[in-house]
Structure 1
């Protein structure tokens, strides 16, 4: 027969209080995440974040729609896996510049979406320091025009 360890009442109460604080913090961050996603997804922007290896770690719903792929097909993949080579090279160059600098890198880029439509976008890329001091690159883009 096995016995559960006996935890003194004071320790048990302390653990319950710590657990309650952790749950409250998790709820706070979950609500914050929902608000930020709502802000991005309801704006006219597309947005993404990539890690130093060039893998997507965040993609907005609007970007998923433009690429014609759900988030789970984009996350942890690079542009070279999801975009035409020319477009991937262009993005890779701009993101490298953004990660090296302290100022955002802006460009006007032509993009062919999953449905074959061509459009021009103003893209702004910028370095982000992640939670564990890892370097990330974030980007937002806004549609300038649809091309024929």
Structure 2
């Protein structure tokens, strides 16, 4: 296991990931990225043959993002055709394969999001665009898992 300066497990590896005989056909590590509230924002696979000690040293030496947090972003990066509306600043930040994404507070802008109804059973609905800071603050809104 590899930990960041906030004592969060950010990377794990089991014996199968030390070989290429796994579902990724590469040696590597499973990673978890967090936001500033400690919520898991996305997880995935990081191909690397580096040792635990070497990677832990890289994490300990972080200077550009010492808190090692990700943040929501209005623009996205793509992982295997999936748009991810988070920054890609926490370790590891390159050559990653995202396997799950969690959104909180507001809904991300995906083409498959359903339209908000104007009312439910005769009651007006608070939409995401009206006042998301009140209606969904601190709540999970969307979780996506690669299959």
What TM-score, normalized by structure 1, do the two folds share? 0.24
Which structure's residues are more often helix, by fraction? 1
The structure whose Rg is larger is: 1
What TM-score, normalized by structure 2, do the two folds share? 0.24
Which structure's residues are more often strand, by fraction? 2
